Structure 1
Amino acid sequence: MTANTRTDAAGIDLDDVGTNPTSNPSFTDLIASRLSRRHLFGLGVGTAGTALLQACGGGGGAGAGFPILPPVPAPPPPPPAPAPAASLKLGFDAVAKSLADVVAVPAGYTASVLYRLGDPIASGVPAYVNNGTDAANTFDRRAGDHHDGMTFFGVNASGKWDAANPSRGLLVMNHEAITSVFLHPTGQTITGSGAAAVRTVSDEVLREFYVHGVSVIEVNRAGVSWSYKQDSSFNRRVHTLTEMNFSGPAAKTDYLKTKYSTDGSKTRGTVNNCANGTTPWGTYLTCEENWAGYFRRITGTDNAKRSTKELASFARYGVAGNGRELWATFTPDTADNLYGRWNTEVIGATATDDFRNGSNTYGWVVEIDPFTTASTPRKRTALGRFGHEGACLGPVVVGKPLVWYMGDDSQNEYLYKFVSTRNWDAADIGGGIAAGDKYMDDGKLYVAKFKADGTGDWLELKLGVNGITASNPAYAFADAADVLVNTRLAADVAGATKMDRPEWTAVNPKNGEVYLTLTNNSARAVTGTDAANPRSYNDPKGGVAQKGNPNGHIIRFADTGGDPAAVTFKWDVYMFGARSTASADVNLSALGADNDFSSPDGMWFSQAAPGLLWIETDDGKYTDVTNCMLLGALPGKVGDGAAKTITNVDGGTTATQATFVGKAPGTDGLRRFLVGPVDCEITGIAESGDGRALFVNIQHPGENTAKADINDPGKFLSHWPDGDKTRPRSATVVITKNDGGLIGL
């Protein structure tokens, strides 16, 4: 997902445009004949059998999934919720589309605000004033902004992880970005423009340093109500100034050396934390998505000081411009370079004299142990460096490798997976960061190639294979660390499939199949479609053309034999976003008024009700009709639909595209469960251990309010959640069923 657009020096949103210049078609082996349904659906796929299955969302990670594993030894938990019926049924009436500034949920449900931007998480920190004057140096003990990917870790009476706990837990969530117009008295104070623009108020910058990152808070249920515990010893903020260690093959290499860490062993902070993930030993994974835009690098002066390889890397990742928040421009700098560290230009004599490698220290999956407040987070370099949307844990089976699936959130980017070298040993439950060292620092990194016959290949990203060599003319890879620091370039060389903005991944705990949201792609031309990204059309909004694939779709795949370590898979398109009124070649999933949607993003499978999928939207394409939403779904499996040929039209250009379309969901298989307030994104989702409380994040309501309107509350686009002309705030809501039952059923 992308909150607050990431722009280059010309003001272009790099996430909308993308930075993939390769000529890779979405398929390198397209076939001329129509696809054979018998060939695709006759391949067969095993299930996870007796595997312990993890379901999560991405990415955004994604979500609150836990492996169904024995908890750390603890007193017996409260009685669990009754197991849902083998054949699930959605048990709520669809919520109507809405443009109101409220959170709407079905009849019989209640949504309560739990945790908002600025809320204090330590004793002695005053309540949030919410007018931009709250002391900057308190924000390391307050809720951050732009709540995003989230996980609920149940806690037992001994303070240990107990996944089934229904009434006490640690809620760990990302804070992706900021809505600066509401964070400061009158928005950011900036003088000059373009490359000459500078920040001039240090307190503003400090606030922003702190409100990015991650929150760890204790939450508790009393009766039917949930609250967070302000003085809990577990409460913690991880932010842009938190020291972190590198681990894995790129750690302590020249690529990561800076003035702060002359041996490349550590860095400060994490930023643009989008979707998330979990581990079977009970830690949290936060993922650095649109990190590239935070760094200052003025190409007119810096390019001449760079090697050809460095320039290729910067171009591929979009590292250029003055920095989206202009952090590097504040002067004077501090002795420990709090501001200068965001300048990734060549300034000193060597890499250890400046932060020319500063941007290399971001773009990673970061592991945090929420149960050990003094632990140092680790950036796991074996999982590659790109715009990590999330890291979803696949099926967990004792004696088998672990796997994480990861999207790269930008147009025409790729889907990846990491498979551990070590096999899972349940004795490592509760092992913290040390267990991460065992499983996440050594393994195989793959990128996906979707083939036109409905199968696919996982291409290994390793020096010496798939064209990733020192003699490659596009980019000469020097060593294993180079491959991981420049994962996108390695994937280009290998021939990966360019996708329509790959975001959250989620694994169905019933069968181990993996779902991937493809949010949208304005660059997908009628003549540039392929089977896995088959639509290109115009969906006008307010009379303005929206071309490409503006409404997005969700693809799914099954690794061969139900083995996450397999190097082949089969796939189909589970569902297409569309207006219910769109033509049949656009509304391919036959969506109606109760379940039509656009721009799927966050996604997560329930653990209490295996097979129940939650889908969240991050939409600017359909917001003339409805605010962003959360939908409940009961998906089938890969191959439950049919082969189909689509006719795409753009003006005078018409082209056909063959693909595989899953069974239309109907209202029994897909319904709108929640609609959010004005100008928001619905993202981040988790559930209590018994599935009777659903936590959902409402991100950046009213974010497009202009700075010029900040002194006129009547012109704010949103006043949620506090109402009455207040400044809007990102917040977590907790949803409960009035009869105390399982959510959604």
Structure 2
Amino acid sequence: MTASLRPGADSHHEDSNTSNNPSISSLIDTRLSRRGVLRMGVGTAGAAVMGSFALTACGGGGGDAAVAVDYKLGFTAVEKSLLDVVAVPSGYTANVVYALGDPLTSGTAAYKNDGTDTDFDNRAGDHHDGMEYFGLNAAGTARDANGSSRGLLVMNHEAITDQFLHAAGTTSGTRPASETDKEIPAHGVSIVEVAKNASGVFAYTQGSAYNRRITPLTPVTLSGPVKGNALVKTLYAPTGLTARGTINNCGTGYTPWGSFLTGEENWAGYFTRVSGDDTARGGATAKSVVSLKRYGRAAGATSRHGWETTGSADQYRRWNISQTGVSSDGSDDYRNELNTFGYIVEIDPYVKTAAIRKRTGLGRFAHESASFGKLTAGKPLAVYMGDDSQGEYMYKFVSTALWAPADANPSDRIATGDKYLDSGKLFVAKFAADGSGSWIELNISNSTIAGYATYAFADQADVLVNARLAADAVGATKMDRPEWCAVHPTTGEIYYTLTNNSNRKLEPTGSQFGLDAANPRSYQDAKIGGSLGAAGNINGHIVRMAEAGGESAATSFTWDVYLFGAEAGADLAKVNLSALTASQDFSSPDGLWFSRSSGFCFIQTDDGSYTDVTNCMMLIGKPGTVGDGTTATLNYTKADSSTVAVTTRVGAKPTVDTLRRFLVGPKDCEITGCSETPDGKTVFVNIQHPGETISKANIGDPSKFLSHWPANAGYGAGGTTTARPRSATVVITKNDGGVIGT
């Protein structure tokens, strides 16, 4: 979820899905006039603009606890803003708690933030993303699921703004070890203790025994059906039982037994292949070549950071996945290294010595979050996941093991994960135009998969490693970048953000995608003073699903669109189908999270389309249920003047009582990751890559920086006009001590 449509964004909207899976229908026109909208002035009326140490974040929970109180939204909506601040409603305070480079150990020096800092194995990584809060008891000696004053924040560090990590920016061509050895560990996961200080404000605890980093070099184990398979054998792990590290970690999950799940998202772009690698592997139709191309690594593809150029040492060599060895199984090179990434990874935040597991049973793709369905004793668990790339799919894993409530507080959390996550069935979603849908199992016993002409699956492990190809085979519905998913804590309905899709077209060509009921819009848009851009689903939408009979293991569902992202004032018939007002409008929904305390839905944006009007934001909503709205028919005209129509299902239009803007971030940022303390009175939110747009030529001129946050709010080295921007976690509280959003 690094970027949506911002300049320089990469693998989120690279299309590697070239299957002929049909859209639900081929129905919609691209005609739409440029924005005829009422623009709202930038201001701070009704909002508290973050000043010195004014920030906070949002945490998550797990299990099947129901919301006990029917809360109502009780804050004044924050106005749109282009200021380099974090704005929250009046009556709220936001404080920075943990930022890029903050030292985790007592012996690590304070962060200078001038590009000379090192030792990122012991510092906060970059690009804070999904996170979860895990409670501790007052003494800090054990897990306390109700601990709201002391706990652990576990968060992803998805990517890096590499120029700011080095004093003079990055070196092009051959990358020096001094830069590569900083960039690699700036990725991964942080586990950091936070606690309320004497003033009742959360701060992180430098030197806590719980603090640690998990990086792309940390040893991990492969678990589930793929473990030991020939597809994951490498020079590092010739038996295929282990792997090394995790990277491009995006969304998260909180297991019912109290462990942390992290999704490996756009990992393919970190690897390179030489131009002749197809031939070395047996030609264009060789299985490994088909697989690599489906996951976005064609021969000659360059890597994102060029780490493989640093030297011949193993930690650099692994980023070149060309076939160079002579073994039949890949155990003498890194031809299979890509197959060891793309999984949901489980971590026990409380126990440093616990194994870190890659849960291969949940499939391999560009994982965002992993959200558990409602728990019922004696029935299977369901885990919902999305594949964040244009034209990819929505997935569900259903466990073989039946849920035992005693497992909510086990003595060994990773062993409990083995029980529920290593054996089960993986499904992919197919949407129908009538508002129904089906979950199709991805299993080698399915004759459609076993006989797929494009790729010859060898076994079930092969199906899971190449889940995208298996989903192609069964005709799953291509969606508009399925990002975060979240499950409503009382209804059990499942929500997916579909961030956007510039390749969603009325008359698709090449690798573009047609229109259908679940992805019904393709329209043009323009920034202020700009010309119309190409048609597509510019602003994204949020789909929600209700399992048949409320059963997590159901194989059918009903669906509608909870919200269509749009600019207030846009065409109500073709674009602003949810009739969003100026206090509700948004673009490119990405992060999605439900509070288990209030039942509110938190919606976060990662946008490049509406940023002429406002920085990225977070809204709070009180959603209804699938089917509470109506149908809408979009009528369009094709290039040959023929008319077509597509009918979609639109949830109840939001009101001021059901959806409001709660937060707007600083310049050039993404709002992502949300969690809360169990009492619902503290929320943690991540501000990712403020001011990320910077060139090497301008790295020495702070006047060219787009952002100086959070130093301009009083946190860390630098100042309001000179500091390099930093990703950071903010903690938000209500001044009267109440539940957030009420």
TM-score for both structures, normalised by structure 1: 0.89
Say which of 345, 369, 382 aligns to 2:322. 345
1:184 to 160, 166, 169: 166
Query: Quick one: which of 633, 641, 660 aligns to 1:671?
Result: 660
Q: How far is 1:158 from its partner?
A: 6.1
Counterpart position of 2:460: 480
- Residue identity over aligned pairs, in percent, reads 56
Corresponding residue number in structure 2 for 1:445: 426
Cα separation, 1, equivalents of 2:27 and 2:554:
24
| Matched residue type, 1:2 | T
- Does the 8 Å contact 2:61/2:678 carry over to 1? no
Preserved CA contact (<8 Å) 1:63 1:277: no
Q: Report the Cα offset of residue 651 of structure 1.
A: 7.5
How far, CA to CA, are the matches of 2:674 and 2:637 in structure 1? 37
Over 3 Å counting, the alpha-carbon distance change for 1:94 and 1:126 in structure 2 is same
Partner of 1:461: 442
1:319 to 281, 293, 297: 297
1:682 aligns to 2:671 (yes or no) = yes
Query: Match of 2:76, SS?
Result: coil
Q: Relative to 1, partners in 2 of residues 1:707 and 1:31: Cα closer, same or farther, differing over 3 Å?
A: closer
Paired residues for 1:61-140 under 5 Å = 64-68=60-64, 85-86=69-70, 88-135=71-118, 138-140=119-121
Q: Is the 8 A contact 1:580 1:590 kept in 2?
A: yes
In structure 2, what is the Cα distance between the partners aligned to 1:25 and 1:17? 19
1:739 aligns with 2:730: no
Q: CA contact under 8 A between 1:145 and 1:730: conserved in structure 2?
A: yes
* CA apart distance, 1:546: 4.3
Paired residue for 1:698?
Answer: 687
Residue 185 of structure 2 corresponds to 210
Whether the 8 Å CA contact 2:218–2:246 is kept in 1: the answer is: yes
Instruction: Report what 2:496 is aligned to.
Output: 516
In terms of mean alpha carbon deviation, does 446-455 or 222-231 score higher? 222-231
Q: 1:279 to 1:358 in 2, by over 3 A?
A: same
Write the letter of the residue equivalent to 2:499.
T
CA distance in 1 between counterparts of 2:570 and 2:635 reads 13
CA distance in 1, matches of 2:140, 2:380: 30
SS across alignment from 1:20: coil
Matches within 5 A, 1:711-730: 711-723=700-712, 724=720, 725-730=722-727
Aligned residue type for 2:338: S
List gaps (5 residues or longer) in structure 2: 29-57, 508-513, 713-719
Counterpart of 1:160 in structure 2: which amino acid?
A
TM superposition shift of 1:23: 1.1
Map of 2:583 onto structure 1: 594
Structure 1 residues 650 and 125, CA gap change in structure 2 (3 angstroms): farther
Aligned partners of 1:63 and 1:604 also within 8 Å = no
- Distance, in Å, in 2 between the alignment partners of 1:140 and 1:13 is 26
CA distance in 1 between partners of 2:14 and 2:532 (Å): 18
SS of residue paired to 2:448? coil
- After superposition, give the CA deviation of every residue in 1:42-69 in whole Å (9 maximum; x if it has no partner): xxxxxxxxxxxxxxxxxxxx96222146
1:306: Cα distance to partner? 3.7
Q: 1:240 aligns with which of 207, 211, 216?
A: 216
Residues 452 and 562 of structure 1, relative CA distance in 2, 3 Å threshold: same
Offset of residue 526 of structure 1: 2.0
Offset at 1:313? 0.5
Amino acid at match of 1:482: D
Unaligned runs of 5+ in 1: 33-61, 71-82, 192-197
Partner AA of 1:740 in structure 2? G
| 1:552 alignment partner AA | G
Tell me the alpha carbon deviations over residues 492-542 of structure 1, each in whole angstroms, 9 at most, x when there is no partner. 001100001100001011210000000000111124211100111111123
Asked if the contact 1:5–1:13 (Cα under 8 Å) also holds between the matched residues in 2, the reply is no
Structure 1 residues 444 and 556, CA, compared in 2 at 3 Å: closer, same or farther? same
Per-residue CA distance 1:386-444 (angstroms, 9 max, x = gap): 00011111112221111110000000000000000001112222331111111110000
SS in 1 for 2:656: helix
Greater shift, 173-182 or 701-710, is seen at 701-710
User: Given the alignment of the two structures, is residue 2 of structure 1 paired with residue 2 of structure 2, yes or no?
Assistant: yes
- Are 2:152 and 1:163 equivalent residues in the alignment? no
Query: Which residue does the alignment assign to 2:196?
Result: 221
Secondary structure (helix, strand or coil) at the match of 1:206 reads: helix
Q: Deviations over 1:536-592 (max 9, x none)?
A: 111112324142101000000000000010000000011100010211120000011
Matched residue type, 2:305: E
Partners of 1:378 and 1:712 in 2: how far apart?
44
Residue 353 of structure 1 and its aligned partner are, at CA, apart by: 1.0
The residue identity in structure 1 corresponding to 2:614 is T
The 5-angstrom pairing of residues 363-382 of structure 1 reads 363-382=342-361
Structure 1 stretch displaced more, 357-366 or 154-163? 154-163
Cα 1:4–1:119, aligned 2, differ >3 Å: closer, same or farther?
A: farther
Answer with 678-687 or 291-300: which moved more. Answer: 291-300
C-alpha distance 153-342 of structure 1, shift in aligned 2 (>3 A): same
Distance in 2 (CA, whole Å) between partners of 1:616 and 1:560 is: 28
Distance 2:578 2:345 in 1: 37
Counterpart residue identity of residue 244, structure 2:
R
Query: Could you say if the C-alpha distance between residues 623 and 12 of structure 1 is closer, same or farther in structure 2, counting changes exceeding 3 Å?
Result: closer
Residues 526, 649 of structure 1: 8 Å contact kept: no
Counterpart residue number, 1:532: 518
Is this contact kept in 2: 1:460–1:466, CA < 8 A? no
Given the superposition, is the C-alpha separation of residues 537 and 648 from structure 1 closer, same or farther in structure 2, using an over 3 Å criterion?
farther
1:500 aligned residue (462, 467, 480): 480
Between 1:99-108 and 1:343-352, the stretch displaced more is 343-352
Q: Are 1:537 and 1:649, in contact at CA under 8 Å, matched by a contact in 2?
A: no
Aligned length: 685
Q: Which amino acid aligns with 1:346?
A: Q
Preserved CA contact (<8 Å) 2:193 2:205: yes
Give how far 1:305 is off.
2.6
Aligned-CA RMSD value: 2.0
Give the Cα separation in 2 of the matches to 1:31 and 1:189: 48
Match of 2:630 in 1: 642
2:398 is aligned with 1:419: yes
Assess if the C-alpha contact under 8 Å between 2:27 and 2:506 holds in 1: no
**Code of the aligned partner of 2:336:** N
Answer whether contact 1:63 1:275 (CA < 8 A) is retained: no
Contact 1:31 1:452 (C-alpha < 8 Å) held by counterparts: no
Output one character per residue of 1:436-459: Cα deviation in whole Å (capped at 9) or x when no partner. Answer: 111110000000001111000000
Name the counterpart of 2:44.
none
Deviations 1:683-707 (A, max 9, x none): 0000011111110000000001222
Residues 689-736 of structure 1: per-residue CA shift (max 9 Å, x gap): 111111000000000122211110011010000022100000000001
In 2, distance between residues paired with 1:530 and 1:67? 35
Cα distance in 1 for partners of 2:59, 2:220 equals: 23
**Distance change >3 Å, CA 112–CA 12, structure 1 → 2:** closer
